[in-house]
Amino acid sequence: MKKPVVLVVMDGVGYTDNNYGNAVNNAYTPNLDYLEKNSAFTTIKAHGTAVGLPSDEDMGNSEVGHNAIGCGQIYAQGAKLVNESIRTKEIYHSETWTALKAQAKDHTLHFIGLLSDGNVHSHIDQLLDLIRQAKEDQIKQVRVHILLDGRDVPETSALIYVQQLEDALAKLNDANFNALIASGGGRMKVTMDRYEADWGMVELGWKTHVLGEGRGFTSAKDAIETYRIEGQYTDQFLPAFVIHEKGKPVGTIQDGDAVVFFNFRGDRAIEISKAFEQKDFKPFDRKRVPDVFYAGMLQYDGDLQIPKKFLVSPPHITNTLSELLVKHKIPQYALSETQKFGHVTYFWNGNRTEKFDDKLETYIEIKSDLVPFEQRPWMKAADITDALIEALESSKYGFLRVNYPNGDMVGHTGSYPATIVGVETVDLQLGRLLPYIKKHDAILVVTADHGNADEMYEKSKDPNAVPKAKTSHTLSPVPFFVYNANVKFKYGNFGLANIAATVTDLLGLKKDPIWLESIIDKHD
């Protein structure tokens, strides 16, 4: 090993020349400016086919991004994986679907998940195909519990997807088939918590979807329009609602029912899956636990087997960077705060929870604050840097990786001023880190997993229009710096999956033969 390598992932920090609503370009970032002038620098792809998604119109995300960085390869991911299974009908010949059919024959089949075409957590077309197949398989009753997006799609677009779903259900419903929307709420209020940051969201989801407790409305449209008038809510923050008919909920979950969580992305699906499956569940009082057949679209955690039943097998990722470094006996250090801790561990290691070697791998989680990110856009960046500097000073580690979540988590709030602060916070931390990189003669690699903070406003053809917040990821490339190493980059079309080979190149190791090539052309 030549020098220790420190890899910094600035989550959600894309690079684009467009300055409109660009919290990256318009922030004060003297340290990023310094790196551009004093490092080997290029931009690389972090979306679409470069990270295993169906097309280059698909935005990247933190999960597939960290999979690609950590394994040096491109695997079919999320939407692409599910789309292929639906196309071949393999999903409907699976053991899980067969069991779901049998369970729901004389009961209700429930679908819970994110209703949009954002293609990051789910896609409405996949849900519609599942419902159509349910009717074809002579299931008589279906209920849909919708989580509204406004994050990977425009912030007030929920009614478009609700109408699309309602129209499809109206065409399918007849004397032998009855499908209805039963409950819902915004994704950042109901059900879709991750990394156990706020179990209250999951508890509210349980009360809403399972128990039918909460404010009643005659339709999802009625709920959305009412909440928007009352509280000016954007979709992701809409309060929970329950659809009533004749004064009663139309779709509580009962003994004997079958339940599918139809999101394909795992991080925000694990907690609700635990609530359905774990007998010794303790995070909140479930009050009533129906005896149901529960399945996920994918298995969201292979090591912990969550959930136990799933419709589509996730990619089996092997030959990761961590595995190679363990073989070479190189100690590793992984660090972030709660919101992105799973990305530098679970997703980085190919959807694996356990370490490859307890003695060679150190994981450090800094607990995230439970406050809205726009109110505290600096998040835990300073604490993360404190821990990273301490690890560098220890001289124990040959490879250190860290994720600063600010550009992504604050960017998702839609607050442009707060995201400016978030980006400047990360830049400030880089400034703190640089002297220690020099002190320990380490190599610093700085990149991002996808864009977000670089495009905070929806594009409008009207130059006089009031800027409208954009809360989703972007299609922008991401920066790639190598500092304190005399290297030159190759010319080519590189992406996140080229980083693993680049890291081993910097460490003086041979890459795994199945990885994509290193970005480095020359290295002294």
Residues with active-site annotation = 62
User: Partners of 215 in the beta sheet?
Assistant: none
Whole-number Å distance between alpha carbons of 206 and 339: 22
Which are the contacts of 495, defined by CB distance < 8 A and separation ≥ 6?
44, 45, 46, 50, 51, 68, 74, 516
**Could you tell me if residue 357 is left (phi over 0), alpha (psi between -120 and 50 degrees) or otherwise beta?**
beta
Contact 59, 120 (CB under 8 A): yes
Whole-number Å distance between alpha carbons of 273 and 266: 10
Q: Where are the beta strands (DSSP E) in 188-343?
A: 216-217, 241-245, 248-249, 258-261, 293-298, 310-312, 332-337
Element (H, E) at 399: strand 399-404
Contact 294, 281 (CB under 8 A): no
Burial (0-12, 13-18, 19+ Cβ within 10 Å), 183: buried
Element (H, E) at 488: strand 487-489
Residues written for the chain: 524
Helix or strand or coil: residue 364? Answer: strand
Cα Rg of the chain, angstroms: 23
Helix or strand or coil: residue 342? Answer: helix
Output the CA–CA distances (angstroms, integers) from residue 194 to 338, 389, 449, 489, in the order listed.
9, 27, 18, 37
Which amino acid appears at position 94 of this protein?
A: S
Whole-number Å distance between alpha carbons of 368 and 336: 9
Neighbours of 95 (CB within 10 A): 9
Q: Can you tell me which residue has the tokens 């197949």?
A: 133
Q: Where are the beta strands (DSSP E) in 222-327?
A: 241-245, 248-249, 258-261, 293-298, 310-312
